[in-house]
Amino acid sequence: MDSNVRPADMARITTPELAQAFIDEQVVALKEQIGDGKVLLALSGGVDSSVCAALLIRAIGQNLVCVHVNHGLLRKGEPEQVVKVFRDELGANLIYVDAVDRFLDKLEGVDEPETKRKIIGAEFIRVFEEEARKVADDVSFLGQGTIYPDILESEAGIKAHHNVGGLPDDLQFELVEPVKLLYKDEVRVVGKQLGLPDSMVYRQPFPGPGLGVRCLGAITRDRLEALREADAIVREEIGAAGLGDKIWQYFAIVPDFRVTGIVDNQRAYDWMCIIRAVNSIDAITAEVPELDWPLLKKMTSRIMTEVPGICRVAYDLSPKPTATIECE
């Protein structure tokens, strides 16, 4: 697939059979494009890069070099899941980079949201570039989980179309983008057919800067850990209530101020957790779902008893607009 234009007669991939036909076709095309060459891929654990990686593993096996950068801002269990699924189950050639201290040191004391985003983005490219340089003599292709909306948005001037982007000019790779003509729902059907776990295939949208924009203000390690634990509880309870695939995005936020509470019969001065859930089609506007009171109470009670440092929980009722989905 050389073209960036989806053919008008291309059938929408809605069934396992259509997904299998796409996979078979892609494996042949990828083998032809790559030959005995090697491909480097930044594997975030999101559905697009995961499906791209799984397809490439089918086509070229060990000649795919996946790099997973743990920047410390991933959700609970995510880096472990990437290693388990790709290295242990699919036998991928996976480089796991523990860059947690590097990112958190760079972010120390930085409270302005856009500056935080820029630091996280720039540092990500730097870490990936370092890994790319280590294998550059050996690798001539760069895999990317670009999908069709990325191309459409890029052409419409809404956002630049690159997933890794920003690699220096002296690192020249030919792009390999096996899912670039697929819509998100099709990527999911293909991912399912490739045997990826539902938690990866149906993963809710997650911002590139990760928990960094939900640990509001200047990130501290202890507040970030509290956020990670609270977020895991929100995801677990929404999943247990059967709402996991019915709500567009649901997560926790921990602002950088303290509130008074009573913990173990003593006055506490701890953080507050905000539960955020929104439904949206395109993230341009969003509505807040009317979650059942018992579900809200259960999440509240679990967060307050299981997460050290949090003594109050709120549910954010703000639609977009006037609010945005994220708080930063």
The residues of the shown chain that bind ligand XMP, judged by CB under 6 A, are: 117, 205, 207-209, 249, 283, 320, 324-326
The least distance separating ligand XMP from the CB of residue 208, rounded to whole angstroms, comes to 4
Nearest to ligand XMP of 55, 325 (CB atom): 325
The least distance separating ligand XMP from the CB of residue 150, rounded to whole angstroms, comes to 11
Nearest to ligand XMP of 16, 205 (CB atom): 205
CA neighbor of 129 nearest in space, from 167, 93, 163, 102: 167
Alpha-carbon dihedral sign for residues 108, 270, 114, 283 = positive
HEC-encoded secondary structure of 246-272: CCCEEEEEECCCEEEEEECCEEEEEEE
Phi/psi of residue 137, each to 5°? -65, -25
Nearest to ligand XMP of 37, 207 (CB atom): 207
Nearest to ligand XMP of 12, 159 (CB atom): 159
The least distance separating ligand XMP from the CB of residue 315, rounded to whole angstroms, comes to 17
Phi/psi of residue 70, each to 5°? -90, 105
Phi/psi of residue 253, each to 5°? -135, 140
Nearest to ligand XMP of 270, 328 (CB atom): 328
Question: How distant, in Å, are the alpha carbons of 185, 209, 287 from that of 12?
Answer: 9, 31, 28
The least distance separating ligand XMP from the CB of residue 117, rounded to whole angstroms, comes to 5
CA distance 53 to 310: 38
The least distance separating ligand XMP from the CB of residue 28, rounded to whole angstroms, comes to 32
And the tokens for 92? 């991928």
